[in-house]
A and B are shown apart, each in its own frame.
Chain A
């Protein structure tokens, strides 16, 4: 069965610093992978997705993620953090053996210090 592990439940960076949120997955078939962002008291918003095309995926708000099959990773990065990036981030893998149901990670809360 597919699973997702997000390393670090909380990450803190300074404004302007690199953002790196880690996600590792396990899957017996080529996966679809997603990153979502959640602002307080809001639903989850899709940041970007990997569906077996280019391994480097660009998303909204300057975020990108790289699919590395050898490392079973899909880490999310942004070169320069903004205060508005403070939110909860979720990585998800599509369980294509179960009709594409998404399996979510535990989430990583990103704090941005001025």
Chain B
């Protein structure tokens, strides 16, 4: 596989469930990102990882827990979510200086019921 792969593509979960989103990149990039995209709202940067170290957390609620075991994999662990957390969650990767921009995955459409 090439590019950035996100799984699952769709996820429906109850407010008491625990689930994880997975992102994998095969581009040799050193930076990875999680974004939240809600309907009619701008892209919201959630977390940034450089060389698997978290460098940015934009006041994201603790019910979202990221994990980056290596430069190729990024997870977003979800627990006790709220209906307003329903959104498209996008993963992206880049070289550290982002001179070539970001490469995005296709996203996970999350619905919290």
Which residues from chain B contact A92 at a C-beta distance below 8 Å?
Answer: 101
Chain A 26-50 per-residue mask, 1 if CB under 8 angstroms from chain B, else 0: 0000001010100001111110010
Size class of the contact patch on chain B: 20 to 34
Please tell me if B32 contacts chain A, counting CB pairs below 8 Å: no
B28 to chain A, nearest CB (A): 16
Give the number of residue pairs across the A-B interface with Cβ within 8 Å. 63
Asked if A24 is an interface residue, CB under 8 A from chain B, the answer is no
Instruction: Write the chain B residue with the least CB distance to A48.
Output: B101
A-B contact pairs, 26 of them (CB 8 A): A34-B101, A36-B101, A41-B107, A41-B109, A43-B4, A43-B6, A43-B107, A44-B104, A45-B104, A46-B101, A46-B102, A49-B101, A51-B99, A90-B43, A94-B97, A94-B101, A96-B97, A99-B31, A99-B55, A99-B98, A100-B94, A100-B95, A100-B98, A101-B98, A102-B94, A107-B43
